[in-house]
């Protein structure tokens, strides 16, 4: 969805380096999410934010941190990258209050390789 952008699209880094992945959206949605995708493991939630002042851990938050700089921006940081954080990372947004369940709009993904 072109309304959700992620930068960079590809990144190679070394073990121990700090790296930030950025997500921006023009959909006007309150809610933003970071997922990690590994082959055979589906999409796993890292962190989510229901509004600018609300940050919540997902199922695999260890080793990651996030910042919600504005309604439209949600960044994911790896404080000290390790090889098993090599994965495809997706940002997603949803519209609060969409009934009966919010649908999620995904960005194009960031492919991260940690050497």
The tokens for 91 are: 């940002």
Q: Which C-beta is closer to other proteins: that of 15 or that of 56?
A: 56
Q: Which C-beta is closer to other proteins: that of 17 or that of 57?
A: 57
Q: How far is the CB of 73 from other proteins (least distance, A)?
A: 18
Q: Which C-beta is closer to other proteins: that of 70 or that of 97?
A: 97
Spatial distance between the Cα atoms of 29 and 51, rounded to a whole number of angstroms: 9
Q: Quick one: which of 77, 92, 85, 115 has its CA closest to 34? A: 92
Task: Tell me 81's DSSP state.
Answer: -
Q: Where do contacts with other proteins occur on this chain (CB under 8 A)?
A: 1, 31, 40-45, 48, 50, 58-59, 90, 100-109
């Amino acid at each position: 969805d072109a309304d959700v952008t992620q930068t960079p699209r590809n990144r190679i880094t070394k073990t121990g380096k700090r790296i930030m992945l950025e997500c921006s959206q023009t959909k006007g949605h309150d809610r933003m999410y970071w997922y990690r995708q590994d082959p055979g493991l589906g999409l796993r939630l890292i962190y989510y934010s229901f509004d600018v002042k609300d940050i919540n851990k997902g199922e695999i938050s260890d080793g990651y941190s996030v910042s919600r700089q504005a309604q439209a921006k949600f960044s994911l940081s790896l404080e000290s990258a390790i090889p098993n954080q090599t994965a495809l990372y997706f940002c997603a947004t949803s519209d609060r209050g969409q009934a009966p369940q919010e649908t999620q709009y995904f960005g194009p993904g960031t492919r991260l390789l940690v050497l």
